[in-house]
Amino acid sequence: GQVAVTPPPERMRRWLQGFSWQGFSWKPITELDVEVLAWDAVQLIFSPSKVVEQLWLAACMQFALSSLFYGQRFVVRVFGWVFRRTRIGQEQGILAAMRRASSYGEWCSLAASYDRLAGNDIWRADPRSSFYDYGALRAKIAQLRRLSDPNTGNIFMLMFRLRGGIARHDFGLLNPGMFTRAKAGTKLVLEEYLETVTTALRRVAGRDFGEERNEQVAEEATALGQQQANSSIPLDARLAFFNEMRHAFGRSALLLSGGASLGFYHTGVIRALFQQGLLPRVFSGASAGSIVAAIVAVRTDAELADFISGEVKELNFFFPSEAEILRRDEILDTERLGREL
């Protein structure tokens, strides 16, 4: 039952003199051993050479840690400086500036810079894409331009083509891929198409063909068996045409979601649309969005311009305390809401 154990160093042998290495049994340690152990501990901790050694070691560790910390900061700053001057870094900087933009014009300017830097302007200029039928779209643009020409166009045929050939989903123009790459817009040919359609509609509304050309077109219309024999198109016919166009093309609407007090962030969206002349005439909303929609829908343009001015609006229609809610048995101050509406 004996176990062979390697003897400890000499000093440890003196400290543990009462330990039996043969049978793992303890014997009382003498007072001399305690004094030797205490003296060795004092020399180890408080001797000048040991103190200097410990202070030097602590200083070296502090210097190493400080060097590591400041060296890391220096490397991070150098890499950040280099990264900001790369294309990816510049793109990230522009995106951050776009998130901080205070107006739609500023946002558009930054978006155009981002597209130039990312190469999206080349994508926009190239009409080819698998997202839509760009060949048919180019042919449609050429046809509408030919019929809209003040000298050689045919207003009756133009109205016919517009009435039966304009829809939102034509040529695949509503494909989401058309609107998820570039920040400042989509394919230039699509913008060209929208501008061409707008010009054609203005031709119909404004009778820009000229009297002599109108008479010639009227004769052609009569020869084709059409009923428009007059050189000018009556106002009621134009109104009927635009009503049919609106029915076929549809009307844009603004839908405002709920979200309690966060719902009043809709006022920023309304401000941007109003300033760009893009605010629709149809509104719908839920919860807080319905309140904002009602406030906007009952105002004239002049009143709406005053409402969405830069001044801070107090739109909190909810009672602030539970006691007030219990006393009135309602959570919404309908009187105040009525005054705002």
| pLDDT tens digits, 26-77 | 455 555 566 677 766 666 666 666 667 777 888 888 888 888 888 888 888 8
- Is residue 90 included in any domain, yes or no? no
Give yes or no for residue 104 having a pLDDT over 80: yes
pLDDT for res 222? 52
Asked whether residue 123 falls in the same domain as residue 244, the answer is yes
Asked whether residue 323 falls in the same domain as residue 239, the answer is no
Asked whether residue 244 falls in the same domain as residue 168, the answer is yes
Mean pLDDT, range 260-271, rounded to an integer: 82
Give yes or no for residue 334 having a pLDDT over 80: no
Give yes or no for residue 18 having a pLDDT over 60: no
| Cα angle 310-316-319, degrees, rounded to a multiple of 5 | 165
Give yes or no for residue 228 having a pLDDT over 90: no
User: What confidence tier does 1 reach under pLDDT thresholds 50, 70, 90?
Assistant: very low
Asked whether residue 194 falls in the same domain as residue 310, the answer is no
Question: What is the domain range of residue 70?
Answer: 34-83
pTM above 0.75, yes or no: no
Mean pLDDT, range 206-223, rounded to an integer: 51
What is the β-pairing status of strands 19-20 and 25-26? antiparallel
**Exposure string over 61-74, b if 16+ CB within 10 A, otherwise e:** eeeeeeeeeeeeee
Interacting residues of 154 by C-beta distance below 8 A, sequence separation 6+ = 147, 217, 220
Amino acid at 128: R
Highest mean pLDDT among 48-57, 188-197, 285-294: 188-197
| Candidate from 5-19, 51-65, 122-136, 241-255 with smallest mean pLDDT | 5-19
Asked whether residue 284 falls in the same domain as residue 197, the answer is no
Give yes or no for residue 137 having a pLDDT over 70: yes
- Is residue 49 included in any domain, yes or no? yes
Asked whether residue 244 falls in the same domain as residue 258, the answer is no
pLDDT tens digits for 148-177?
888 888 888 888 888 877 877 888 888 898
Asked whether residue 259 falls in the same domain as residue 298, the answer is yes
What percentage of the chain carries pLDDT values higher than 90?
A: 16
- Is residue 96 included in any domain, yes or no? no
- Structural domains of the chain, count: 3
Highest mean pLDDT among 44-53, 129-138, 202-211, 258-267: 129-138
How does DSSP assign 303-329, residue by residue?
A: HHHHHTSSSPP----B-SSHHHHHHHT
User: What confidence tier does 319 reach under pLDDT thresholds 50, 70, 90?
Assistant: low
pLDDT for res 229? 36
User: What confidence tier does 203 reach under pLDDT thresholds 50, 70, 90?
Assistant: confident
Asked whether residue 293 falls in the same domain as residue 240, the answer is no
Q: How many helices (H) and strands (E) does the chain have?
A: 16, 4
pLDDT for res 6? 45
Asked whether residue 197 falls in the same domain as residue 306, the answer is no
pLDDT for res 23? 46
Q: Give how far the C-alpha of residue 85 lies from the chain's centroid of Cα atoms, to the nearest Å.
A: 23
User: What confidence tier does 225 reach under pLDDT thresholds 50, 70, 90?
Assistant: very low
Strand partners, 255: 284
Are 213 and 162 in contact, with CB atoms under 8 Å apart? no
Asked whether residue 165 falls in the same domain as residue 55, the answer is no
Give yes or no for residue 192 having a pLDDT over 90: yes
pLDDT for res 316? 58
Give yes or no for residue 201 having a pLDDT over 80: yes
Interacting residues of 241 by C-beta distance below 8 A, sequence separation 6+ = 159, 162, 163, 204
Question: Residue 223 has which token pair?
Answer: 């020869």
Q: Which residue has the higher pLDDT, 31 or 188?
A: 188
